[in-house]
């Protein structure tokens, strides 16, 4: 029996809605086909943005969308993507498949997408192959309301009023595809570039420095020491790769060992954040600088027969668990984690939506993001585990159940639970203290009959949420039984 105590009157911080952010790069079919189909496409669209994907993403309450990369960002020159589409420069997307990038989806199209989604734009600037002037002028083009060369150019391209732009990344993965820099060199470059990323009028830019690759703690140390006072946030990238980098494993053809290894590696995110936080605390004890996990998710071998440079992979109930565990970890570190962006929104890596021509499906990961959105901007509640069953595989052990709870502005309590065990049910007893009266209890669950189960274009609703009723109330406690490999959310509605 898993015994959990929730102190409903003890809060531990705000779960920023920006923890539920997304990432969209010019990679494979994420932007083109996935989001952008042109205005004259037979696929129903709004100004070139496909309506089915738009509606699906709006339902998730996406708070922020990061663009144009990724590695693509440090080869992207924004002036190639403005003005009449027929005159835009064509280039080679050297990172992702060597295909022609026609720049038909540029600054105006991205910011229009964010307007339609009702989310904040987060732009990654080019440090690797760009210039300080180019980056400075991009911010001026987007946000300056007065008379200036870039503001006038924006007006000539059809946009009179400036956009609001808060989040700006000064480079991406500058330890790798963004220039292969040493942390000392990048720290100096960051200080120089960010000087010219200006806030115009009442538009205040939140500057995000390129942080470490996974467990490169020296990178974090150097950046916080040399440039911490010049940044508002610093990024962290970590992907769940069940195998080795050159042979990551299949997204759908895997066994029990790969299932266990995937979840174990996902939980490494907690150690990463804990250790990076400790370094950040030395230089920023007031926690002014946010940790921005702006790339996370599962990464497998591409689907057979697809372009290796497009990173197209399927998405099973295993990925639903990967999403749930990561979100729980971000909740627990909400004092420092200000934003997290799942990679990537459509058709790439752990996508929430897959498309094929005019068809679209929602992945198990989509459903977790939808079920968990009740935690956005809610207060994290204090949780203690009195006893925890273990999930064991060949001598290694993980806790069978992961849990998080929050209280929203209306006083409703939401408890999310993940049963990692692929084989066994998880009986759970949740004792509630300080809940402050009676409530109406309801639940939703996502599970599957097989660990490889996923949605296809022929069967798009094979894995989808269902009402969850396998629980009883006993005074101030809830006793529930979670099926194997499941994600559940309980709602305690205040009366």
Strand partners of residue 440: 493
Task: Determine the Cα–Cα distance for residues 314 and 15; give it in Å rounded to an integer.
Answer: 29
Is the separation of the CB atoms in 258 and 289 below 8 Å?
no
Task: Determine the Cα–Cα distance for residues 230 and 344; give it in Å rounded to an integer.
Answer: 28
Measured on CA atoms in the order 195, 66, 166, 381, is the torsion positive or negative? Answer: negative
Nearest to 233 by CA among 341, 142, 332, 134: 341
Q: Cβ atoms within 10 A of the Cβ of 67, count? A: 28
Is the separation of the CB atoms in 424 and 1 below 8 Å?
no
First to last CA, the chain: 30
Is the separation of the CB atoms in 426 and 401 below 8 Å?
yes
What are the Cα distances from residue 139, in Å, to 101, 106, 312?
23, 14, 32
> Residues 173, 184, 271, 356: which is the catalytic one?
173
Strand partners of residue 405: 415
- Is 295 in the active site? yes
- Is 120 in the active site? no
Query: Which three-class secondary structure string do you get for 339-379?
Result: EEEEECCECCCCCCEEEECCEEEECHHHHHHHHHHHHCCCE
Residue 458 in tokens: 């022929």
CA 376 to chain centroid, in Å, comes to 13
What are the Cα distances from residue 229, in Å, to 204, 223, 453?
16, 10, 47
φ and ψ of 446, to 5 deg: -125, 120
> Residues 295, 303, 379, 392: which is the catalytic one?
295
DSSP secondary-structure letter at 235? E
Please compute Rg for the chain using Cα positions: 23
Q: Cβ atoms within 10 A of the Cβ of 77, count? A: 15
Query: Could you tell me what percentage of the chain is helix, strand and coil, using 3-state DSSP and rounding each to the nearest 5?
Result: 30, 30, 40
Provide the annotated active-site residues: 173, 295
């Amino acid at each position: 029996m898993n015994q959990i105590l929730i102190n409903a009157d003890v809060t531990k911080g705000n779960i920023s809605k920006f923890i539920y952010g997304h990432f969209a790069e010019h990679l494979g079919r994420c932007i083109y086909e996935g989001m952008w189909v042109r205005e004259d496409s037979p696929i129903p669209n709004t100004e070139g943005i496909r309506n089915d994907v738009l509606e699906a993403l709006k339902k998730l309450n996406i708070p922020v969308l990061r663009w144009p990369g990724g590695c693509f960002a440090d080869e992207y020159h924004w002036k190639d993507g403005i003005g009449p589409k027929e005159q835009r420069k064509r280039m080679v997307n050297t990172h992702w498949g060597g295909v022609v990038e026609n720049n038909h989806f540029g600054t105006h199209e991205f910011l229009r997408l964010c307007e339609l989604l009702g989310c904040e734009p987060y732009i990654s600037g080019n440090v690797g192959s760009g210039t300080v002037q180019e980056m400075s002028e991009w911010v001026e083009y987007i946000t300056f309301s007065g008379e200036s060369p870039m503001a006038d150019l924006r007006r000539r391209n059809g946009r009179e009023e400036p956009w609001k732009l808060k989040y700006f990344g000064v480079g991406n993965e500058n330890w790798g595809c963004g220039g292969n820099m040493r942390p000392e060199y990048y720290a100096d470059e960051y200080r120089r570039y960010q000087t010219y990323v200006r806030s115009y009028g009442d538009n205040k830019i939140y500057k995000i420095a390129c942080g470490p690759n996974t467990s490169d703690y020296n990178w974090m140390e150097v950046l916080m020491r040399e440039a911490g006072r010049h940044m508002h946030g610093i990024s962290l990238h970590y992907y769940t790769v069940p195998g080795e980098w050159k042979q990551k494993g299949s997204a759908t053809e895997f066994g029990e060992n790969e299932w266990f290894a995937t979840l174990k590696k996902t939980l490494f995110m907690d150690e990463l954040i804990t250790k990076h936080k400790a370094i950040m605390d030395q230089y920023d004890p007031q926690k002014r600088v946010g940790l921005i996990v702006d790339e996370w998710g599962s990464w497998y071998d591409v689907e057979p027969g697809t372009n290796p440079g497009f990173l197209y992979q399927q998405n099973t109930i295993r990925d639903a668990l990967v999403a749930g565990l990561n979100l729980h970890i971000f909740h627990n570190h909400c004092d420092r984690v200000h934003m997290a962006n799942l990679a990537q929104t459509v058709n790439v890596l752990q996508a929430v939506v897959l498309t094929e021509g005019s068809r679209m499906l929602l992945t198990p990961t989509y459903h977790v993001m939808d079920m968990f959105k009740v935690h956005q901007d809610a207060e994290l509640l204090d949780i203690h585990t009195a006893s925890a069953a273990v999930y064991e595989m060949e001598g290694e052990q993980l806790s069978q159940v992961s849990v998080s709870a929050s209280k929203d502005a209306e006083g409703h309590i939401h408890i999310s639970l993940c049963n990692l065990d692929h084989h066994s049910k998880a009986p759970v007893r949740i004792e509630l203290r300080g809940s402050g009266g009676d409530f109406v209890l309801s639940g939703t669950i996502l599970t599957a009959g097989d660990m490889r189960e996923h949605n296809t274009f022929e069967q798009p609703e094979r894995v989808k949420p269902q009402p969850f009723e396998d629980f009883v109330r006993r005074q101030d406690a809830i006793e529930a039984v979670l099926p194997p490999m499941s994600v559940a959310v309980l709602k305690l509605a205040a009366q």
